[in-house]
Structures are given as C-alpha cells and as structure tokens.
C-alpha cells in the first residue's frame, strides 16, 4: 500500500516538475508546480508527517503559488513563450549534464551504501512516537529547543515586511528620474497626444 502510494505520488511530482520547465505558458507552468507540491504533500502523508503535509498545502499551494499566479495575471505576463531560444548559450545542455551528474551521485550512494542508507527506521518512515502526536512534538521543540531561531526568524520576516512597505512607497517630492541620453533628442514626435480635429 505504502509503495503504491509512493509510486503514484512520485509520478505526479515528476510529471509536475517536467511540466514546470517544459510548459510554453507560464500559467500552465504554475499549475504544474501545484501538482508537484500536492504530490509532495501526499508523500509527507505517506511518511506519517501529517502536519508537514497540511503546512505544505496551506503555505505553498494555498498562498505562494496563488501569489505567483496573481502577479502573473496582474502584470499580464501570461503569454505563450518561445522555448526554442536559449537566453544563455548552451544552458540546456549544461542543465542536463548537471542533472545527470546528480542522478548518478544519488544512484552511486544507494548502490555503495546499500542497507546503511535505506534503514527503514521509525524516525524516517513514520511518526516518532505512537502516543504523542507529531503536532505536539513539533510545537514543543519549536518553543523550547529552537525558540531562539524561531524568534529570530519572526524578526527577520517582520523586517522584510516593513522593508517592502518602505521600498514600495516612493516619496513623490523627489525629482523625477531623467530620461536616459539615448531616449531624448532623437527628433521623434512628442509623447503627448495631439488633440484630434473637431474633438470636444
């Protein structure tokens, strides 16, 4: 049962990942990303990590990808793209090579390590304790052992939010940014609209 669930969700994750890089349309790519994240959530469930699965769905699928899609729709960058042109020469080949290298490394570790790697211990394949729920354990750890890291992260996020607000509110008494030299004195028509004949 566990293996079947793993195979199905791993296939979804892989198909989604391929969809992200190979879709012509950015919105389709974002949709594939959702499929990938959902697949990962199911993998978490399969490992007995219920809280991680739900957090994965709430945070990544429910908030981050929504914002990605939102920005795409708002800015209108949802047009089809040409996948043939390479912004950097040879980047596809290089990416493929690095991917193969990683695959080889992982396979090598599994082949060489054998049982030492695939241990099947409880801490990797299931909940740590059968009586105390994952949520309680994570909560206790967060607010005792890792409380300092937690507070620092909270501070960091607050600073990021304040920074974003400050950066996005441009004071308007600043002098407007002058047009670059190449854009002026080209003998073009002025950019203001000329009133049409008989306009009222």
Partner 1 sequence: MLSGDPLLSGQIDLAVVLIVLLKVVAVFAFLLVATMLMIWFERKVVSDFQNRVGPNTAGPFGILQTLADGIKFFFKEDLIPDRAERRVFILAPLLTVVPAFLLFTIVPFGGDFSNGHDGSVELFGHTTYLQLADPAIGILFALAMSSIAVYGVMLAGWSSGSKYPLLGSVRASAQMVSYEAALGLSVCAVVLTTGTLSTHGIVMAQAGSGWGGFIPHWNLIATGFVPFVVFLLASQAELNRPPFDLVEAEQELVGSYHTEYSSIRFALFFVAEFMNSVTMAAIIVTLFLGGPAGPALLGPGWLWGIIWFLLKMTAFLFLFVWVRSTLPRVRYDQLMDLGWKVLIPLSLGWLLLLATFWVARDQQWNGFVTVALGAVVGLTGYGLLKGAIATSKARRLEGVVD
Q: Which residues contact partner 1 by CB under 8 A?
A: 25, 27-28, 31, 34, 45, 48, 50-51, 53-55, 57-58, 61-63, 66-67, 69-70, 73-74, 78, 126-127, 133-135, 169-173
**Least distance between partner 1 and beta carbon 63 (Å):** 7
**Least distance between partner 1 and beta carbon 65 (Å):** 8
CB 54 within 8 A of CB 133: no
CB 34 within 8 A of CB 61: yes
CB 38 within 8 A of CB 13: no
CB 42 within 8 A of CB 5: yes
With respect to partner 1, which residue has the nearer C-beta, 88 or 159? 159
With respect to partner 1, which residue has the nearer C-beta, 21 or 73? 73
With respect to partner 1, which residue has the nearer C-beta, 24 or 92? 24
**Least distance between partner 1 and beta carbon 73 (Å):** 6
C-alpha Rg value of the chain to the nearest Å: 26
Ramachandran class of 187: left when φ > 0, alpha when ψ lies in -120 to 50, beta otherwise: left
**Least distance between partner 1 and beta carbon 82 (Å):** 18
CB 53 within 8 A of CB 44: yes
With respect to partner 1, which residue has the nearer C-beta, 17 or 126? 126
């Amino acid at each position: 049962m566990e293996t079947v669930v793993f195979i199905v969700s791993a296939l979804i994750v892989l198909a989604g990942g391929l969809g992200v890089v190979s879709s012509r349309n950015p919105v389709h790519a974002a949709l594939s990303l959702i499929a990938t994240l959902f697949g990962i959530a199911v993998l978490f469930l399969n490992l007995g990590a219920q809280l991680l699965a739900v957090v994965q769905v709430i945070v990544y699928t429910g908030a981050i990808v929504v914002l990605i899609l939102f920005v795409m729709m708002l800015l209108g960058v949802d047009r089809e793209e040409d996948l043939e042109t390479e912004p950097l020469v040879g980047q596809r080949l290089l990416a493929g090579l690095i991917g193969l290298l990683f695959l080889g490394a992982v396979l090598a570790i599994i082949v060489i390590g054998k049982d030492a790697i695939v241990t099947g211990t409880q801490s990797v394949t299931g909940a740590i304790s059968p009586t105390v729920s994952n949520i309680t354990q994570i909560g206790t750890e967060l607010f005792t052992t890792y409380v300092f890291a937690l507070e620092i992260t909270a501070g960091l996020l607050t600073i990021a939010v304040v920074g974003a607000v400050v950066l996005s509110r441009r004071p308007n008494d600043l002098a407007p940014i002058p047009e670059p030299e190449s854009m002026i004195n080209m003998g073009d028509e002025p950019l203001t609209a000329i009133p049409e004949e008989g306009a009222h």
